[in-house]
Structure 1
Amino acid sequence: VQLIATAHGNTLENLLSSPMLSDLVGGVQVVTLSDEEARRRGTQKTILERKHAPTFDIVIEMIEREKLAIHFDVASAVDALLRGQSPRPEMREEHPDGKISIWVASERTRIPDDGERGDERRHWNEDAQHEVVKIYAYGVSRKNILRVAQKLNISIELVPRWQDADVVLTVRSHLRKGRGDLPTAIERGKPVYALRSNTYSQLERQMRELFSPMLTPEEELAIREAEEAINIALNENRPVELSPCAAHLRRLQHEVAQKYQLISESIGDEPTRRVIIYPNDR
């Protein structure tokens, strides 16, 4: 007997973000490691791990009508995502002549190369960039906070008391009603930030605003160039090379391409290393 089902979501990562659907692919749990184990793994003390074996062994992402991404080992793919890594599904695409191309996705389709993965990102406390930011969450999903922190490459620790936190995250309804210790935290001058609702998208938006630095003119120019290149790639159906730039600027350009679900890669050697963006039907 083979069980087949469909689920609403564009990617495997979408399923992990959904409280209703994540159990289908193994679920997510928050695990606190000992100091020794955290050092051995080279991770934070609080991490995300898969809760149990996936209900389904295989997951197929329908990227486009004629293009699929197939995860033949869902458990391994979920474990990779929770470690902040990119799974490498088998890609299949049907062409107008009926032929089918099959290849294994490379990491460049989801994340930039090692020199461009956000090492330059500053933390909330800009005077101590390498310190762990301590967050007290009241009415906000701890799992989602950890997932966003991984995505944004932020070092955080979830603490059980607001007194030990650098920043407090909650939702507006709790703040308006003065729930828990929130009034005391505000009175004592603790930074408190409220989300409109306890959803992944709201949390990611708030944490980006908190932990991401303001863009410099150089960064704005790099992003604008990537957006213009994407328009050309889509309208003229051809790859577009961008101007050579530093690694942290290339990372921003890769992120813009990802937002439009386009493939990008860095080519060439320093100091002329640059990003190339490909159209959808490459």
Structure 2
Amino acid sequence: MRALPLSSGSVLIDLHTSWNSANEIPISTTLAYFSSSFRQTRRGRKGIASSSTPLSSSSSFHSNSSSIRKPSDRFSNGSLVSSSTPLLSLSTSRELELFLELVPLRMRNELLKHDELRTLIEVVIDLGRKPIARFPTGDWVISDETVKLEDLHHAISKVGEFSDDNRSGIDHSLHRISAIRNRKMQIIGLTCRFGRAISGNAEMIRDLVEGGGSILVIGRPGVGKTTLIREMARMLADDHLRRVVIVDTSNEIGGDGDIPHSGIGRARRMQVPNVNLQHNVMIEAVENHMPETIIIDEIGTELEALAASTIAQRGVQLVGTAHGMTIDNIIKNPSLQILVGGIESVTLGDEEARKRKVQKTILERKGPPAFTCAIEMISKTEYRVHHRLDATVDAILAGKLPRFEVRRVEEKANDSVTTIVEPEKHSLHESEVTEKEYNTTQIEPTEDFIEYPVRRMIKRSNTKPSSTRTLPVCVYTYKILEADLLQVAEVMGLENDLNVTDDIGTADVILASSSELKQNRWIRSVAKFHKLSIFVIKVI
């Protein structure tokens, strides 16, 4: 660290060349000593200066230059940290500064003018197209001038080498740079994802983390799964002093470079040399390093799912992510079915089928899931928690709606502190599933279903509705074209009395063909569950 006395009696500290800043060690103790000196330099300066001043080059950022710079130069437009910035935001500002260094200068100046710069999600740079910046509010065109080859070369020169999965990063940061190549393997596009460590975003599920069970996080790309499990790793390692090992395939959890990012706390990080070897590194982590918790991001192949199941059977807490909107997506993915216990088709005997009142062939869960509970990330502030993943899978296979808990975070209007709203149990009117029903996978048919020829059904539609039912009637159709149904309704003069819905929860009746009903008997179970009548079309 270099402290240079100035004529005014204050002291200038070059944080760029300080040993503390280079190694990301907290500098609050050092800054507290010189707070009075810095307070003198903050007067009269607010926010970010004019965007005409370019950012300092990466060479000046890392070099130990002997030139003396004023605090205003350090905190001008070239550096996103203003002299009035609180100490807690210095880390985020430094991450943003590193990210903007790879953006070409002309794009950088335009990007700095955006009011939502600190909520930046990613920057897309494609050859011959206009550069785009993505924010929570939507996409924004950075410049009307198209991207040139020189712009791509500038960005590539600021990052490390690209791995086999066409991903790279910036040392000591969480940013992820993904490349698009042409047939000659030349890079013609970049997706620059801004990575940030958000402390406290796992407070909403602290009880699950402390419970010691394995947790599966599911959500669409970009919803914040990696950010969540990074904070969970830090929470387990720092707050609960557990031995945590992160299997980091793309260096997205622990950051690029050999020294892990401070966002993971005391957790250890194992890098994966080849994306196809992630399952081997997962097993190696358990066998060689005696972890209590394993953190895995993006379980996507069958081998990785098998390795996760093996780790769970060894008594190690497992925290992992997978792409998908709901658990049903995992069940329908052949490569990831093992994560929820695996699915198999079981043929029952005649007597057993009659006893259960189901068809002879049903779907059942093979074994216990690799995870104890699951979290469906709807957004960064809303989660659906399935406390018993095995019960959820059984309910879905039985054609029932599983129970889950909705947890939300609301931000107070007067300050930036987030509070956890009291969780509410999810219920869909008549969708309560008892504990006894959780433990069964059988499909129970309705007692009877109403079967009508086409003409009789249309004639019935002409009758007056009952006093308890109001028009129009909502019809849920299965394997029947909506256009055909509406055409018949128009011919019969019922276009104003009939509505077709895709949500079975809001339907009044179910309409299906006799052939489909015979082949898919689970329709009866769904109808009984929602207490709906089934009207069957029989072609004559």
State TM-score, norm by structure 2: 0.24
Greater relative CO, 1 or 2 (CA 8 Å, sep 6+): 1
- Larger of the two Rg values belongs to structure: 2
| TM, length-normalised to structure 1 | 0.43
